[in-house]
Structure 1
């Protein structure tokens, strides 16, 4: 006999589960860590509204009457979590597998939605691919899990749904530590509610095992304290790394930079300071900036170090300045656009000989093959996490590459690695007809790569990306992009000559079906003021007409 659906009202909210005696039990006197008279403020203060939205339940997610349920799967949708011997594929029926095959693939940390089919109490199934955990790259895995949760909630909002049941996206099979996963899940949900709390009504955390339930009962109070007293008690247990505003783990080791070291004696001769003689190696080597131990008065070292050479103790070039130099010419300046374009033109030679043309084509193919081999062997997971590129399908079922311009941070990564990333992602598309969509909304100088980079990408991609390109579309194109496109049509007419400008999402949906593309939040908000103004104008016009009719 099939079990009846569990109504949301039957599951108590997190805020209503607090028991004063249980709240003190297990707190371990964490509040005593603060010194007397020293009152620390919790980064996660009590919020009754958030606590009422969270529900903790041990059971099967798709048995709850919610709008959507999250399914942790693989990139090819071949796997899914098993809850007490049941799987969501069996519950939803064979149509779910057919729907997943139409999507084809979903990358790690991304999410997509399908119908729930034979599950009557659920409207949509949101599929997301959880990361594999490796201790060496734990920060990348933690941030990928954070993106899974964030993406799932974004898909929920895009589908105009309000309630969701979310299982443990991190799985035993992928080696993710359970406690770490609980911290990231709780923290990410808290950060999401802080920014978009009005878009979600209920989030049910479905826990498959009793051990996980115990972990969540210990972890949730850190991020969702139910009373001020509990907030104070758990303050000492909150991890040092509480992530950024999206819940992503901070990589503090990347913030450390070596500053200038002590320069020794100052004066006109300090720049040319040298070591008097060679250090003999007898005794310990003196530390930088420390005074050498003279030893007994009767013993005078033969090789005395009088001062440290400035070339030795000072950094000649910092990593930040070097990266800035590599990215020189990538920032937006009107003169640089024209200068970069003229320089790119100077490197182009126009020939009429068919033999030289075929020779250039063969050389280009060889260059593409070499770069492709490098790209396939090069790890670009950190660039993928920036979510610059995503893939979709147009109305004819041909692939579409979507580029989110505001995520393209040119100074964050070496340009050469960006080229390898683009080559790797384009390779699977260029073999047949494809299109490119550039979301240029809210881009700034830091998102403009420069002509030299664009030329390098075109030269590295080979001829297929020119021959098989169906269409090139730019949504909310800036003046910067329009100016660049005007000149790029000369050097790359087969690509930039096909560029069409889209001014609204409705025009975009004429190229790609609405259900096939995920619109980033900043793009959707870009058109929100215009829609609001249009609605206000409609209301004003209607009011005027009514007044005229009345008069």
Structure 2
């Protein structure tokens, strides 16, 4: 009730039934034709968890009307998208929301940003930008959509939120197939609740009537409500269920590209971001190079907006790890000018004679403006004159090789078992 006694339009999530409370009968009937004799000793990778199911709510309704800690708004990069979800949120939040969004200066695809809820019942709004879907770029779209859900949940965790109301982030105008997107949404939420969900008490999926049918169909796969439903759902899980965090897994991601988040910011002696590429982790013969190119752009997009340097470990690479010059030329031609302008140095660690010759030909005859940025580093002590050792996560085999070839260096950092 509002102060004047009129019924409130907002919906308290504590009044909504949890996923545990929905009848299982219809779901079980839909799977019985596929599994006639369930084997209850065969466990799903998403096992029955009553405690997690109690946190899940499927609700057909307008996310803007939910009374919870935060609701999710799906928008575009400038946070001005006019879709049904956004327009409803703007309508109920009031004019102050638009003023607040201008201060955010946009939001990249896959990111999540926070504002107040203003006139909403929800205290906060988490804004995110889903990917535009094209079948050719499916890998990049999967990664971005996963990032949307993961970053929303991470923001909720960091702000100690007790409840989050999700709209369906993959808006119709962005073209993401609903069923494919729902798999990513559900498994990402499930994995997050398993690992990081201590403080989150409720996660609401606010859906339309069309979306409700898909969510009801797929929820038992990731949130089975009994051991029997878990067993019946197991054959219906897709082949790709992601990694331990729910993130899509493809061979292209075996290419290790990492931005070191060490103290203070993962930077070299000039304050520039350090990016590490491990050559031995590039499975050239196994991956789709077109997808690898898209993955590189996806990972590097937020890094290349400012000055950065690359540390490339050529250590113990084989013929199966070498990127050919045609691919490198295409990469150089395709990336935005900011990648080239802001790249200040490439430290080529443990080069061989052959790799030096190949690099010289490539930077002399194939691309321009790159030759002067290449610095050959024969041993790690040379590298440390430009980048402090604590700023890089060293694969153990790199340290072992350098110690064997050049002698031990007392200030090597301890390295995780990568």
Task: Give the TM-score normalised by the residue count of structure 1.
Answer: 0.51
CA contact (8 A) 2:168 2:206 kept: yes
CA contact (8 A) 2:92 2:119 kept: yes
CA contact (8 A) 1:15 1:226 kept: yes
CA contact (8 A) 2:308 2:342 kept: no
1:26-54 residue CA offsets vs partner (Å, 9 max, x unmatched)? 223333377xx795321110011110111
Structure 2 unaligned runs (5+)? 1-5, 255-278, 285-290, 357-362, 374-378, 392-418
Q: Which residue of 1 aligns with 2:61?
A: 59
Helix, strand or coil: the match of 2:151? helix
CA contact (8 A) 1:423 1:461 kept: no
Helix, strand or coil: the match of 1:206? strand
In structure 1, distance between residues paired with 2:280 and 2:105: 43
Q: Which residue of 1 aligns with 2:177?
A: 177
Q: Which residue of 2 aligns with 1:238?
A: 237
Matches within 5 A, 1:326-337: none
Q: Which residue of 1 aligns with 2:51?
A: 49
Is it true that 1:15 corresponds to 2:16 in the alignment?
no
Matches within 5 A, 1:142-541: 142-207=142-207, 209-251=208-250, 381-386=294-299, 389-390=302-303, 401=306, 416=328, 424-425=337-338, 450=349, 460=370, 484=383, 486-487=385-386
Measured after TM superposition, the shift of residue 238 of structure 1 is: 1.3
Helix, strand or coil: the match of 1:155? helix
Helix, strand or coil: the match of 2:198? helix
CA contact (8 A) 1:71 1:80 kept: no
Task: Give the TM-score normalised by the residue count of structure 2.
Answer: 0.65
Structure 1 unaligned runs (5+)? 256-319, 326-377, 392-399, 431-435, 437-446, 464-479, 489-498, 503-551
Measured after TM superposition, the shift of residue 226 of structure 1 is: 0.5
Structure of higher CA gyration radius: 1
1:115-161 residue CA offsets vs partner (Å, 9 max, x unmatched)? 22232x22221111101111222232122111110011112122332
Measured after TM superposition, the shift of residue 82 of structure 1 is: 0.7
Is it true that 1:6 corresponds to 2:47 in the alignment?
no
Measured after TM superposition, the shift of residue 418 of structure 1 is: 7.7
CA contact (8 A) 2:252 2:292 kept: no
CA distance change for structure 1 residues 322 and 384 in 2, over 3 Å: closer, same or farther?
A: closer
In structure 1, distance between residues paired with 2:179 and 2:220: 14
CA distance change for structure 1 residues 184 and 483 in 2, over 3 Å: closer, same or farther?
A: same
How many pairs were matched up?
330
Aligned-CA RMSD value: 4.5
CA distance change for structure 1 residues 426 and 321 in 2, over 3 Å: closer, same or farther?
A: closer
Matches within 5 A, 1:76-87: 76-83=78-85, 86-87=87-88
